Amino acid sequence: MKKNIIAGNWKMNKTNEETKQLIEELKPLVKDAECEVVCCVPFTDIVTARKAARGSNIQIGAQNVHWAEKGAFTGEISAEMLKELKVQYVITGHSERRQYFGETDETVNLRTKAALNAGLKVIVCVGELLSERESGKTAEVVTRQTIGALKDITKQELKSIVIAYEPVWAIGTGKTATAKDANDTIKIIRKTVRKLYGRASATSIRIQYGGSMNPQNASELMAMPQIDGGLIGGASLTAEKFAKVVNY
């Protein structure tokens, strides 16, 4: 049986001191969670978060990774560096990376492969812009992004991948996709995985929804048959709110 996965994406928030406090507050609130619980923190918070989460069911993730093993890539972090810090998950292809940092389907694929090679699990994000949704291109966009992200990734490696469907217009806007819309688009993503890897892989891969997911809408979203988890931005920054989503 696959286990649902709720991950917080802290984005560029929290100092070390704040990280320690948030994880400490979170631990007792999520200790009985039925799903996997992950906090994807800024690079500079990883060591503190790991230390604070020790002995708990909270796993720590990063928010980006470079594809090269090492070298002249100022400001970047390699998969080996993350591995050494005992990071379990890393996010690739977040829409903010695509939008502000020139991330393409190709670089998302390279980053994903580097993370897998180092033995990390990857949360790969896909999702359409508002203009793409309004022009009826949602299916085309998420299909292209999914195929692009998974290029040359084996069936075995796919087991270490979670896909996050995040419609860009729903991120940080308070607008959530309706549970039905999210479910329908995730079905399209799953169908793409089926075409690439077969039915068993498509059934077992976990696909999250992300975009203004919060304590009020989590249970409705999580009740949908295609939705296996959530990637939470704003609501992951306070222990109480994130715990409510985790314990949907």
Catalytic residues: 94, 166
Closer to ligand 13P by Cβ: residue 196 or 237:
237
168 contributes a contact to ligand 13P by CB under 6 A: no
Binding mask 70-99 for ligand 13P (x = CB under 6 A): ------------------------x-----
**Nearest distance from residue 154's CB to ligand 13P, in Å?**
26
Neighbours of 20 (CB within 10 A): 16
61 contributes a contact to ligand 13P by CB under 6 A: no
Query: Residue 162: enclosing H or E segment and its boundaries?
Result: strand 161-165
Q: Quote the Cα angle for 184-193-242, to 5°.
A: 60
Binding mask 2-31 for ligand 13P (x = CB under 6 A): -------x----------------------
Nearest residue to ligand 13P, by Cβ distance, number only: 233
145 contributes a contact to ligand 13P by CB under 6 A: no
Closer to ligand 13P by Cβ: residue 148 or 211:
211
Neighbours of 136 (CB within 10 A): 8
The answer to whether the beta carbons of residues 224 and 11 sit under 8 Å apart is no
172 contributes a contact to ligand 13P by CB under 6 A: yes
Of 171, 177, 222, 239, the one binding ligand 13P by CB under 6 A? 171
The answer to whether the beta carbons of residues 210 and 231 sit under 8 Å apart is yes
Q: State how far the Cα of 2 lies from the Cα of 188, in Å rounded to an integer.
A: 19
Closer to ligand 13P by Cβ: residue 42 or 211:
211
Closer to ligand 13P by Cβ: residue 39 or 203:
39
Q: What's the first-to-final CA gap in the chain, in angstroms?
A: 19
Q: State how far the Cα of 70 lies from the Cα of 85, in Å rounded to an integer.
A: 16
Interface with ligand 13P in residues 204-243 (CB under 6 A): 210-213, 231-235
Burial 102-130 (b: 16+ CB within 10 A, else e): ebebebbbbbbbbbbebebbbbbbbbbbe
Residues near ligand 13P (CB under 6 A) are: 9, 94, 166, 171-172, 210-213, 231-235
